[in-house]
Amino acid sequence: MLCENCKKRTATVFYNEKLNGKSRSLSLCGECASKLREKGEIQDVTSMIESFADPFWATQDTLFNDFFGISSLPKKAEHSACSFCGSTLTDILQNGKVGCPECYSTFRDALTPLMRSLHGTSLHRGSVPQRQLAVRARNEQLGKLRKELQKALSEEDYESAASLRDEIRTLENGKEMNQNGLV
Amino acid sequence: MAWYNEQGKMTDTVISTRVRLARNLVGYPFPSSLDSTSANELIEKLSSPLEESGFRKIHFSDISAIMATSYVERHYVSPSFATAEGPRALFLQEKPDLAVMVCEEDHLRIQSILPGFDPESGYQKAAAVEHRLDREFDFAFDEELGYLTHCPTNLGTGMRVSVMMFLPALSASSCIGSLSVQLAKLGLTLRGAFGEGSGSIGGLYQISNRLTLGYAEEELIQALSEAVIQIAERERRARKSIRGEALEKLTDRIKRSEGTLRYAHLLSGKELIRLLADLRLGISLGIVQGIRQEQLTSLLVEGMPATLTLSSENAPRNEASRDKLRAQKAQSILLGG
Ligand SMILES: [Zn+2]
Ligand SMILES: [Zn+2]
């Protein structure tokens, strides 16, 4: 986080005050903070954290700057906007931040290569939501049923094929319902 | 009792371990584009499961600036959360310390904080809260990109693990620069705490994972743990290698610092951080006796300006009276041991 006053040094002092119900907050570097205090522009010294830069929260900013460094803007998708939040690809690339979860699907083609250069990969391997486990299980089940259907058809076992088709249809409808809730 | 008053593992070289999980709910834009009505709705929705699990809700738009700052000093919220505007809430549970920020950069930032070194249980504790919420809410998730976050640097696991290390001997022998380069190759970041850039007052450094996507949580934790254990070992060796005249001088400095902490009338925040570093090193070298590491961590947090001010019935009005209060706080905490 950069100092809001000089925009050069790292902010190490976080100042906030509430005067007559109005709140004001500033992130400043040590030097600017003492200058502003001498000038009397900030007062309530008790609410200042001197030299307090907790890197836990700052880690993100450096990473975020790395992301900024990637300038290979794909040109064609620039004008389309996310149907959920209205962000355009230009917005996302300029801010280095994404508007809503839906944006990741809307701009998948443009974002995936960026994610690959940012993380070295674009494939998640960690934990998944419970709901997603159910989706995975259903997809597996569908795959299995489709294979069985192929087999039944090649063996001209039309009775089994019909019941398999019904089963597949039911599962697929369930999947659609769930994917509407998905991102 | 908060994390900073508790005993921990490996406290000769590690102050604290933090694990944070970023999560977002399907159906809402990220907080930066969320209107107040939806933000309040989100806070309301999340309240009941969290309150049922023993969290207490603190609306940050309702509390005083100094109170908000104190939450930053105690590491429960980020400075940007404390100083932001608009509806946002902290859900806090002590013992074990768990803090959930609602409507920070992401809808949910679930964080656990433990004294000393303990990333596995830090992760388990944060994950338990996450699982509880996963039962009731649809988290934004993508089969390829994992958990979807406002900033692409958190995609995948949404997990950041961070260990605050105390490395005075390595720092004095100027190995920190090369260490930082080595860690970067392992996907880890090293940063100085209480200082600017990579510098540090008090020998405090934070090590955290840079990558969040492409690895399972356990793998990320293991890579970080191995690095921390090795660094701690190097730090211990560097401490042991201080001998002869250098050790005499160091012993003198540590004893003087103990004297200052016990008898000073005024103590500035920066001086406190320096003195605490000397004492922490003194304890591990056997030079300082009768003081425990966790007393020093308590003092490191409770000596911060806002937390200090709030601890007194007659709030100090200027820096000099705050420095006096800080000296009194130091003496009462050290006597309490
Ligand atoms: Zn400045
Ligand atoms: Zn969007």
| Beta-carbon count within 10 A of B263 CB | 10
Structure tokens at B112: 């656990």
CA of A107 to the centre of ligand 2 (A): 9
CB–CB of B187/B244 below 8 Å?
no
Tell me the three-class secondary structure of chain A, residue by residue: CECCCCCCCECCEEEEEEECCEEEEEEECHHHHHHHHHCCCCCCHHHCCCCCCCHHHHHHHHHHHHHHCCCCCCCHHHHCECCCCCCEHHHHHHHCCCCCCCHHHHCHHHHHHHHHHHHCCCCCCCCCCHHHHHHHHHHHHHHHHHHHHHHHHHCCCHHHHHHHHHHHHHHHHHHHHHHHHCC
Mention every residue, 6+ apart, whose C-beta is less than 8 A from residue B313: none
Distance from CA of A48 to the nearest CA of B (A): 7
CA dist B230 and B20 (Å) reads: 23
Chain B contact set for A26 (CB, 8 A): 83
CB–CB of B199/B170 below 8 Å?
no
Structure tokens at B88: 């946002």
CA dist A85 and B36 (Å) reads: 15
Place of tokens 């934070």: B206
Q: What band does A18 get if pLDDT is binned at 50, 70 and 90? A: low
Q: Right CATH number for B14-237 from 2.60.40.1180, 1.10.645.10, 3.30.590.10, 3.10.50.40?
A: 3.30.590.10
Q: Which of A134, A141, A130 is nearest to A177 (CA)?
A: A134
What's the pLDDT tens digit per position in B245-290? 999 999 999 999 999 999 999 998 888 988 999 999 999 999 999 9
Residue A166, pLDDT above cutoff 80: yes
Output the pLDDT for position A45.
47
Query: What residue in B sits closest to A64 (Cα-Cα)?
Result: B153
Output the pLDDT for position B197.
47
Interchain contact, A23 vs B32, CB within 8 Å: no
Q: What band does B121 get if pLDDT is binned at 50, 70 and 90? A: very high
Residue ranges of domains in chain B: 14-237, 244-336
Dihedral, CA of residue A62, residue A68, residue A70 and residue A74, to nearest 10 = 150
Q: What is the ipTM of this complex?
A: 0.86
CA dist A119 and A108 (Å) reads: 15
Output the pLDDT for position A19.
59
| Beta-carbon count within 10 A of B159 CB | 26
The whole-number average pLDDT for the span A117-145 is 88
Q: What band does A178 get if pLDDT is binned at 50, 70 and 90? A: very low
What's the pLDDT tens digit per position in B188-245? 999 887 654 445 678 889 999 988 999 999 999 999 999 999 999 999 999 999 999 9
Structure tokens at A142: 């569908």
Interchain contact, A51 vs B269, CB within 8 Å: yes
Orientation of helix B293-302 relative to helix B319-335, angle to 10°: 160
The whole-number average pLDDT for the span A148-174 is 90
CA dist B293 and B296 (Å) reads: 5
Orientation of helix B293-302 relative to helix B269-284, angle to 10°: 170
Chain B residues 222-251 with a CB less than 8 Å from chain A: none
CB–CB of B108/B43 below 8 Å?
no
Residues in chain A, overall count: 183
Interchain contact, B143 vs A27, CB within 8 Å: no
CA dist B197 and B201 (Å) reads: 11
**Which ligand is nearest to the Cα of residue A31, counting in written order?**
1
CA distances from A114 to A16, A66, B106, B214, B281 (A): 37, 11, 20, 14, 44
Residue B109, pLDDT above cutoff 70: yes
The whole-number average pLDDT for the span B20-44 is 96
Bigger pLDDT: B83 or A177? Answer: B83
CB of B302 less than 8 A from some CB of A: no
Interchain contact, A126 vs B157, CB within 8 Å: yes
CA of B197 to the centre of ligand 1 (A): 14
CA dist B326 and B303 (Å) reads: 6
The whole-number average pLDDT for the span B59-65 is 88
CA dist B185 and A147 (Å) reads: 45
Bigger pLDDT: B321 or A70? Answer: B321
Residue B60, pLDDT above cutoff 60: yes
What's the pLDDT tens digit per position in A50-96? 444 566 665 554 454 455 444 444 555 556 899 999 998 888 887 78
CA of B174 to the centre of ligand 1 (A): 27
Distance from CA of B17 to the nearest CA of A (A): 11
The whole-number average pLDDT for the span B39-65 is 94
Bigger pLDDT: A121 or B30? Answer: B30
Task: Say which DSSP state B214 is in.
Answer: S
Distance from CA of A141 to the nearest CA of B (A): 17
